Structure 1
Amino acid sequence: MAFTGKYELESQENYVEFLEAIGLLSAKTDHKVVTEVAQDGNNFTWMQTIPNWTWSNKFTVGQECELATMTGSKFRAPVTMEGGKISIQFPQYHFTAEISNGKLVMTCVTPGEKGVTFKRINKRI
């Protein structure tokens, strides 16, 4: 499947500004995030890892799913895919992910007039 694989952070834009916008500046790390994605049709397991911390969500595209934020808070949201791009509305930002030129590109956008767009490009490892 297109998303299945293990990826390592290659570059990112507006990381500190994003963490500040969602109130998680204290969670800033210089570790390279490793993202593992397992896709079986519309079913996904999405896991991000740095030393001493792992964040994981399981979801099905086209359904409302129970998900967890980076801090472990649970919420429910529909997961959609359009044009090969996964889309999820988290409580504090809108998340999209796609494969572009063999890389996993994740974008998080905070709402409002002064919204922050955080972009992470991950290379397959």
Structure 2
Amino acid sequence: MAFSGKYEFESDKNYDEFMKRLGLPSDAIEKGRNFKIVTEVQQDGQNFTWSQHYPGGHSMTNKFTIGKECDMETMGGKKFKATVHMEGGKIEVEFPNYRQTSEIVGDKLVEVSVCWFLGR
């Protein structure tokens, strides 16, 4: 499935709970609630450039090849190593505190993030 394209944020579910579990302070959660993030994906076979553009001109870009370890960065700026996998048309990557799965549904990019830990 081709991921290349530009996708504008439309909606989220359980935003507050997810951000609290990641340890973000309430003022940061409130600020981020109304962000209209634009995700831009460039795919060349198994090679990806995945960029997220935030209000105010801040951007974050991760480049990776499916199945190969790479350097990545969280939206908070934390750098880590990960291996991105693709299964059944879905891209999966394990961030330090959560797993993110991304897929194309119709003409939309659907991203689901699940925390590794409960409580907090």
What's the TM-score, normalizing by structure 2? 0.88
Q: In the alignment, which residue of structure 1 is the partner of 2:72?
A: 67
Three-state SS of the structure 2 residue aligned to 1:67 is: strand
Q: Match for residue 88 of structure 1?
A: 93
SS of corresponding position for 2:67:
coil
Q: Are the structure 2 counterparts of residues 113 and 71 from structure 1 closer, same or farther at C-alpha, using a change threshold of 3 Å?
A: closer
Q: Which has the higher contact order (CA 8 A, sep 6+)?
A: 1
Structure 2 unpaired stretches of 5+: none
Q: Tell me if structure 1 keeps the 8 A contact 2:3–2:42.
A: yes
Q: Could you say which structure has the higher strand fraction? A: 1
What is the SS of the residue equivalent to 1:70? coil
Deviation string 1:13-58 (CA, Å, 9 cap, x unpaired) is: 1112111111224154212111100001111111111222211111
Q: Distance in 2 between matches of 1:113 and 1:19?
A: 12
Separation of aligned partners in 2, 1:34 and 1:3: 14
Structure 1 residue 112, shift from structure 2 partner: 3.2
Identity, % of aligned pairs?
Answer: 52
2:55 is matched with which residue? 51
Secondary structure, in 3 states, of the residue corresponding to 1:72?
A: coil
Q: Does 1:33 align with 2:3?
A: no
Residue by residue over 1:83-119, the C-alpha shift from the partner in whole angstroms, topping out at 9 and shown as x without a partner, is: 010000100100110001221000100023459xxxx
Quote the RMSD (CA, aligned, Å).
1.7
Specify which of 105, 116, 119 is matched with residue 110 of structure 2. Answer: 105
**When you count helix as a share of all residues, which structure comes out higher?**
2
- What CA distance in whole angstroms lies between the structure 1 residues aligned with 2:112 and 2:102? 6
Q: Which ranges of structure 1 fall in alignment gaps of 5 or more residues?
A: 116-125
Partner-residue secondary structure (3-state), 1:18: helix
Moved over 3 A (4+): 112-115
Match of 1:20 in 2: 20
TM-score, normalising length: structure 1: 0.84
